[in-house]
Amino acid sequence: MTASLTAEKEDIPRSIVGAWSRLGPFALLVIFVLLFGVFSLTVPHFATMANLSNVLQSNSIIGIVACGMLLMIILAGFDLSVGAVGAMSSVVAAAMIVHVSMAAGITVALLISLGVGLFNGFCIAKIGVNAFVATLATQVLVTGFLFVGTAAQPIYGVPETFTVLGLGKIGPLPVPTLIFAIVAFSIWAVLRFTTFGHYIYIVGGNRTAARLAGINVDRITIATYGIGGLLAGVAGVVLLGETTIGQPASATTWPLNAIAAVVVGGVPLSGGVGGVGGAVLGTLLLAIIANALNLLGVSPFWQPAVTGAVILVAVGIDSYQRRQRERR
């Protein structure tokens, strides 16, 4: 009798996780719609056009970063330096815009961001450094260079016209949201229709098998991290458009938020599977939760705690699923 009750108790979490895995992205969509409906009915001013536009505008930056993080997580990696790269992009763009030109500022910022991403990929692929160690070291290195180069002081003087990139609107949609949509669509097209995108899935699923199949794993790894760095740079330029200030200490929460958005979107950290739709939904889900907490007057210090709890739950479900698959 006791053994039977124990087996039944063990089957409860197993059945819940199994149902979640079968629903996949539809489960996330259902949760998003339910939460949106509940917040609309219970949270004052949540469903107003002004508030929803603000939610989209302020969270599109994380969405852009999450698209790059998605590629690296599908590759069975991640990048802890995206925040430092975004801050660097913002500072470099601000300095170049003030002293040279707007086009030069954007171009140089994106090229340097791409270079940092490629450097991360090189360290991981060619030298064999663990992704956690490589990107953490890069994050510290880039932040150190930023503080030394700016004496930890913000860069001012960006013209107000540049704010159209971060605060402007085209019709009802904020410009950052349109940029996020373009980035998401581009990443979806790469993963769906290109050989490079298919190789990312193969390498993330089984690196050894990919090498035996003749895939240049090192090249795929370096290119993927390069794209991740480039998108962090794009987010940094958009951030500058919102603030007109190149702030060396900005974007510190980007790595956590981007990883959370992707993981909540149903993309396992083990790699090999995942899609842009999940990353977009994960970004929006975390955005409306944070916005609802703000409107309810909950302390902003609780928001990282909520994000961390969501990551823990999502990763726990993924780990449980993998453990069950290994037992079969």
pLDDT of 105-134, one tens digit each?
Answer: 999 999 999 999 999 999 999 999 999 999
Segments of the chain scoring below 70 in pLDDT: 1-25, 314, 317-319, 321-322, 324-328
What's this model's pTM, rounded to 2 decimal places?
A: 0.88
pLDDT value of residue 16? 47
Residue 301's pLDDT is what?
78
State the pLDDT at residue 29: 81
Q: Does residue 142 sit within a domain?
A: yes
* Total number of domains constituting the chain: 1
DSSP state of 246: B
pLDDT of residue 8: 46
How many residues are listed for the chain in this entry? Answer: 328
Is 101 contained in some domain? yes
Q: Which residues 6+ apart lie within 8 Å of 232 measured at CB?
A: 65, 68, 79, 81, 82, 83, 85, 86, 89, 113, 117, 254
Sign of CA dihedral 47, 49, 54, 56: positive
Domain presence at residue 152: yes
Terminal-to-terminal C-alpha distance of the chain: 25
Angle in degrees, CA 190, 192, 197, rounded to 5: 50
Determine, yes or no, domain membership for 39: no
Residues 239, 259, 280, 120, CA torsion sign: positive
- Domain extent at residue 135: 59-252
Residue 76 lies in a domain: yes
Domain assignment present for 225: yes
Give the list of residues 6+ apart from residue 247 with CB closer than 8 angstroms, or none: 87, 90, 91, 154, 155
What the block records as the tokens of 5 is: 């009750």
Tell whether 310 is covered by a domain.
Answer: no
The label of the residue with tokens 């939904």 reads 281
The encoded tokens of residue 327 equal: 């037992």
Per-residue b or e along 71-88, where b marks 16 or more CB atoms closer than 10 Å to that residue's CB:
bbbbbbbbbbbbbbbbbb
Q: Is 309 inside a domain boundary?
A: no
**Residue 234 CB contacts under 8 Å (≥ 6 apart), including other chains:** 64, 89, 110, 113, 179, 183
